[in-house]
Amino acid sequence: MWALIASLYIGNVMLLVLNLPLIRIWVKVLEIPREVLYTAIVVFAVIGTYAVSNSTTEVFIMLVIGVLGFFMRRYDFPIAPVILGVILGPLMENQFRRTLIVSDGDFGAFFERPLSLGLLAISALMIAAPHLPGVARWLRGVGTG
């Protein structure tokens, strides 16, 4: 652990040593028009994606995800849960598949342990909680009519 902390400290010192003489160049970067800067970022992202995978399919996937991210930001959709879902989704899928293999395809394995049953109940409550006030208003409206 201390080696990691020491390497981070050394990295920060190196960044300080490298960036102090280059401060004038970094200030010049701020003077570049946004359109040119955004275009350069997209070009370098496409080149980097193609260089890593050597596949145009990966480039199209990157562009689709970029457009999706643009619309998510434009319509104030939170991006952090999507990133968590993309990262944790395959892990959850593998564990789900492993549980079904061990239990011979029986979905009851998800409900027989108290901890898993409690976590599923909390998840269901968190999904349903935002809709409960509307359901309560609807029930009050039906009861008075």
Q: Is the model's pLDDT at 144 over the cut of 70?
A: no
Distances (CA, A) of 92 to 98, 119, 124: 10, 14, 17
Under 8 Å between Cβ of 111 and 117: yes
Could you give the residue ranges of the DSSP H alpha helices within 54-113?
A: 56-74, 80-102
Q: What is the pTM of this model?
A: 0.50
Under 8 Å between Cβ of 120 and 111: yes
Q: What residue type is assigned to position 28 of the chain?
A: K
State mean pLDDT over 2-12. 93
Domain boundaries, the chain: 2-105, 113-145
Q: What residue type is assigned to position 88 of the chain?
A: L
Model pLDDT for residues 62-98, shown as the tens digit of each residue: 999 889 888 998 999 888 888 888 899 999 999 999 9
Q: Is the model's pLDDT at 8 over the cut of 90?
A: yes
Q: Is the model's pLDDT at 100 over the cut of 60?
A: yes
